[in-house]
Amino acid sequence: MDNRAARLRQARLDAGFETAAAAAEAYGWNRNTYASNENGNAPYSWRRARDYGAAFSVRPEWLYDAQGPAAGQPGPAPVIGRVGADPGGEVLLAGGQAQPEFAPLPPGGTERAVALRVTGHSMRGLADDGALIYFEDQRTPPSPDMLGQVVVVELDTGEVLVKRLLRGGAPGRFDLESLAGPTRRDAQLRWAAHITAIVPPWQARRILLSGD
């Protein structure tokens, strides 16, 4: 059993669940998937760590990569992907096997804070190559105050993008304006999130931390 799996098992036991099956049933998780995550046969992703951490009342960064204490104040924000390599504003989410990176929480950041690293120059005017873009990973529908703002969105196709949010041609649809590419019309969104902070490249280089 690897250390990540061992931490998950310990968190589950500390939360009062005697078996993996009991925890999976309580939270509606697939039993086989959870069991494989806990016994180390299938290392779990950062997104899974967020779910498991919330369920077992431990910090996900500790669960995922032993960053900081198991509980307490929110730890550093994970860098979950890269954006800006193409003019479409597409986010390339980090794979589960890549060495994780973390950055300090921005002002007002919570345990839901995450960051994106800007790659390339297609986002010039918002964030330069090497900058960090923070947002709160809350998975909530677009709100009226997001209209006209550059936000992070997930489409019903599963694509995650950084775009300016505009009203679409029908209720529940949105136009997504790129900084350097064509506008996507009448998109259907799963969620949208405000950008909470942008750290310039020179500062980002100073504050980034790599996981072990």
Q: Hey, where are the domains in the chain?
A: 3-65, 77-210
pLDDT > 70: what percent of the chain? 92
Report the predicted TM-score, pTM, of the whole model to 2 decimal places. 0.70
Task: List 18's β-bridge partners, or say none.
Answer: none
Task: List 166's β-bridge partners, or say none.
Answer: 175
Identical topology for domains 3-65 and 77-210: no
Tell the residue number behind the tokens 């259907």, with chain if given: 188
Q: What Rg value do the Cα atoms of the chain yield, rounded?
A: 18
The CATH fold of domain 3-65: 434 Repressor (Amino-terminal Domain) (1.10.260)
* Range name among 104-108, 162-166, 167-171, 182-186 with the lowest pLDDT average: 104-108
Q: With the C-alpha atoms ordered 27, 79, 74, 210, is the resulting torsion angle positive or negative?
A: positive
pLDDT > 90: what percent of the chain? 54
pLDDT digits (tens, 9 = 90+) for 177-208: 998 888 999 999 999 999 999 999 999 999 88
Q: Which CATH superfamily is domain 77-210 in?
A: Umud Fragment, subunit A (2.10.109.10)
pLDDT digits (tens, 9 = 90+) for 105-148: 888 888 788 999 999 988 888 999 999 999 999 889 999 999 99
- CB environment 175-191: b (16+ within 10 A), e (fewer): bbbbbbeeebeebebbb
pLDDT digits (tens, 9 = 90+) for 35-81: 999 999 999 988 888 889 888 888 888 888 887 667 766 668 889 99
